[in-house]
């Protein structure tokens, strides 16, 4: 009986020494990743709207001038629209570096055809005025 008791005791010790599986084990997912197709969304961004920052009209000797300056962010544009000139009444458009501060009309050479003069102050700390005429 000594032998039998010893064998049972050893069997109990070995059985109690076996590692128990952890109760918090999470089953690992070994499946393939799922992919889904996502629709592409296209967003149209509206073009910036020009802001009218200067507008003045002049009449002299039957000639009419419209002087306008617009600002679209960093781009500034000067537009002079003449009408009533004897030869050419083309619209003049220029990009400008600065701000239109004034415009004047005169017939300096007294030929009966008036000229338009536009004053622009440059941007920056050392700003200066530039006549366009």
CA distance 37 to 56: 57
Q: What are the C-alpha distances in Å from 27 to residues 21, 23, 34, 61?
A: 12, 11, 18, 94
Quick check: 81 pLDDT over 90? Answer: yes
pTM, full prediction: 0.61
| CA–CA separation, 131 and 108 (whole Å) | 15
pLDDT at 57 over 60: yes
Q: How far is CA 34 from CA 27, 38, 39, in A?
A: 18, 13, 16
Distance of CA 57 to the CA centre of its chain: 33
Q: What is the mean pLDDT of residues 49-65?
A: 94
Confidence of residue 109 (pLDDT cuts 50, 70, 90): very high
Residue 23 clears pLDDT 70, i.e. is over it: no
Hey, where are the domains in the chain?
51-132
Question: What six digits make up the tokens of 122?
Answer: 């440059």
């Amino acid at each position: 009986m000594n032998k039998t008791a010893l064998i049972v005791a050893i069997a109990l010790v070995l059985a109690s020494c076996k590692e128990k599986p952890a109760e918090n084990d999470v089953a690992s997912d070994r499946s393939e990743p799922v992919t889904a197709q996502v629709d592409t969304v296209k967003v149209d961004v509206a073009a910036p709207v020009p802001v009218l920052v200067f507008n003045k009209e002049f009449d002299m000797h039957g000639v009419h001038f419209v002087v306008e300056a617009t600002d679209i962010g960093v781009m500034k544009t000067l537009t002079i629209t003449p009408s009533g000139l004897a030869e050419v009444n083309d619209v003049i458009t220029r990009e400008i570096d600065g701000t239109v501060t004034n415009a004047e009309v005169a017939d300096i050479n007294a030929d009966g055809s008036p000229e338009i003069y536009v004053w622009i102050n440059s941007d920056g700390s050392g700003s200066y005025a530039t006549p366009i005429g």
